[in-house]
């Protein structure tokens, strides 16, 4: 009654949060390079009235920590050895699209970018770790956004096909697990980052740095990404039959409970929140545009132009597994507004989830929620599930002895893994568990180093100073024990 024999244990990061070297070896900027956290309301893009284009315009008073990040680009060998030291049998990261095709629309790839990933992937394999590679983790090349308007322009489908064909051929036989678009179901609340959507020729007003993104733009991007996802599956099947393609969606919001038994709150939790979580998953996994999406198109007159051959492509090329992130749960109360960030949605406080993570972030800690989410997803899609993000960010500094005693992190992990195991006993097929992020990286949501997730501490701070020295936290050895025992150390503690 333990975890499955071939369970995948490891950790997950993203290129834009760890690599740094943002303009090195031919790479050009991506969308997150011009932002201090993806929640930023003022990204470094401005409208140029003379050229009638958006252009990169970074604020000299801001610290863009992702530009150097933790310098994984130059330190990946030592960092991957640290990951292997915990017994990881897989490791998730992303390929930065802009390292392979710097502007996104080139005819030929950048060989220096490919050479970096050649060696990084080979190093993982030598260390006994299966690479789990995300093709797009909030890393759309900035040029594709400023020049073409991003994914609302169907030209990006062909640019994407060229990119994925290149990496599929390059890493045939080496990468078995590919993920398409990271947390792309965040697109309606964060279209610029999650969907790379920008209206170029219609800025709302000169003071608005990112212009107006209309409902039409978002749904055009939605459809084009659905087509691109299907092409990804098709191309992978043709190029490397031993590899699998999965989707990757944020699913914290699946655990949005009705605040009470008021039918409006019960249906609101389902219709207003949960369906907004599934509108990509239903296409990626089931192969059809769902009816509730078509209703939105009818009522808001924003239906994209669809081609029959593309709808057939979507139907015939669904993903092989469903990967997701889960951090926390929330509640829905029609009388209280909801907002969200990278951890999920936030509604009215749940009186039955009394525990929160330590300040300053204070996320509700609901380990039972991951079992709930896994059952909902498996019942809906009947696909193997892969937990590729679950973790806790803490404000940590070395103590007077040069150590970090992070008991709360291990408490969070162990409690969640207990309920992952319960879901497996429920009959849910689960491929593995990847902790986010096993080494301190730049926070996606806030663009800072203060919010630390790692088992490995990195000496870097919000103002950009630091030696980048790596130090093991107490949790390093504890997570190692969990992996060594295939989770039995949790189940029998």
- Cβ(49)–Cβ(471) below 8 Å: no
> For residues 267 and 265, what is the distance between their CA atoms, to the nearest angstrom?
5
Element (H, E) at 45: strand 45-48
- Residue 205's contacts (CB-CB under 8 Å, 6 or more residues apart) are none
> For residues 238 and 165, what is the distance between their CA atoms, to the nearest angstrom?
10
* Catalytic hit among 28, 68, 130, 389: 389
Give, as one character, the DSSP assignment of residue 138.
S
Q: Which residue, among 257, 259, 256, has the nearest Cα to 335 in the 3D structure? A: 259
Q: Find the largest Cα–Cα distance for the chain.
A: 67
> For residues 364 and 266, what is the distance between their CA atoms, to the nearest angstrom?
20
- Cβ(195)–Cβ(263) below 8 Å: no
> For residues 112 and 436, what is the distance between their CA atoms, to the nearest angstrom?
28
* Distance (Å) of CA 87 to CA 9, 10, 172, 359, 368: 8, 8, 25, 31, 26
Q: Which residue, among 349, 90, 386, 361, has the nearest Cα to 251 in the 3D structure? A: 386
SS3 (DSSP) at 324: strand
Backbone angles phi, psi at 415, to 5 degrees: -65, -40
SS3 (DSSP) at 321: strand
Element (H, E) at 464: none
Q: Kindly give the pairing relationship between strand 430-436 and strand 8-12.
A: parallel
**415 is annotated as an active-site residue:** no
The catalytic site residues sit at: 389
């Amino acid at each position: 009654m333990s975890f499955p024999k071939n369970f995948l244990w490891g950790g997950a990061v993203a290129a834009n949060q760890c690599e740094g070297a943002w303009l090195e070896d031919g790479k050009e900027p991506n969308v997150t390079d011009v932002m201090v956290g993806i929640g930023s309301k003022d990204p470094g893009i401005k409208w140029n009235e003379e050229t009638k284009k958006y252009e990169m315009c970074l604020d000299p008073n801001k610290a863009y920590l992702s530009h150097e990040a933790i310098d994984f680009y130059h330190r990946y060998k030592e960092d991957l050895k640290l990951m292997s030291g915990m017994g990881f049998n897989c490791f998730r990261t992303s390929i930065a699209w802009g390292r392979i095709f710097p502007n996104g629309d080139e005819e030929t790839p950048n060989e220096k970018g490919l050479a970096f990933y050649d060696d990084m992937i080979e190093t993982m394999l030598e260390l006994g770790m299966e690479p789990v590679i995300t093709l797009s983790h909030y890393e759309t090349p900035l040029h594709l956004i400023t020049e073409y308007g991003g994914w609302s322009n169907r030209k990006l489908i062909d640019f994407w096909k060229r990119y994925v064909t290149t990496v599929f051929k390059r890493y045939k036989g080496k990468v078995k697990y590919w993920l398409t678009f990271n947390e792309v179901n965040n697109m309606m609340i964060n279209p610029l980052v999650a969907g790379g959507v920008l209206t170029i020729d219609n800025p709302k007003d000169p003071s608005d740095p990112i212009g107006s993104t209309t409902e039409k733009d978002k749904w055009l991007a939605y459809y084009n990404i659905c087509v691109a996802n299907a092409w990804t599956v098709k191309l992978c099947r043709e190029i490397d039959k031993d590899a699998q393609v999965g989707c990757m969606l944020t699913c914290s919001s699946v655990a949005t409970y009705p605040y009470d038994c008021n039918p409006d709150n019960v249906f609101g939790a389902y219709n207003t929140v949960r369906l907004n979580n599934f509108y990509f998953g239903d296409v990626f996994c089931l192969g059809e545009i769902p009816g509730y999406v078509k209703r939105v198109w009818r009522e808001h007159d924003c239906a994209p132009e669809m081609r029959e051959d593309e709808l057939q492509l979507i139907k015939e090329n669904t993903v092989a597994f469903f990967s997701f992130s889960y951090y926390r749960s929330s509640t829905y109360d029609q009388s209280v507004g909801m907002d969200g960030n990278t951890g999920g949605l936030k509604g009215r406080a749940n009186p039955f989830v009394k525990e929160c993570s330590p300040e300053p972030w204070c996320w509700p800690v609901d380990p039972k929620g991951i079992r709930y989410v896994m059952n909902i997803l498996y019942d809906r899609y009947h696909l193997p599930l892969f937990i590729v993000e679950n973790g806790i960010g803490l404000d940590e500094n070395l103590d007077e002895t040069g150590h970090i005693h992070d008991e709360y992190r291990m408490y969070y992990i162990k409690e969640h893994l207990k309920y992952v195991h319960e879901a497996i006993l429920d009959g849910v097929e689960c491929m593995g568990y990847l902790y986010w992020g096993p080494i301190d990286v730049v926070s996606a949501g806030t663009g800072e180093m203060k919010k630390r997730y790692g088992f490995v501490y990195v000496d870097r701070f919000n103002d950009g100073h630091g030696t980048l020295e790596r130090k093991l936290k107490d949790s390093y050895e504890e997570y190692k024990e969990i992996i060594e025992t295939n989770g039995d150390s949790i189940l029998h503690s």
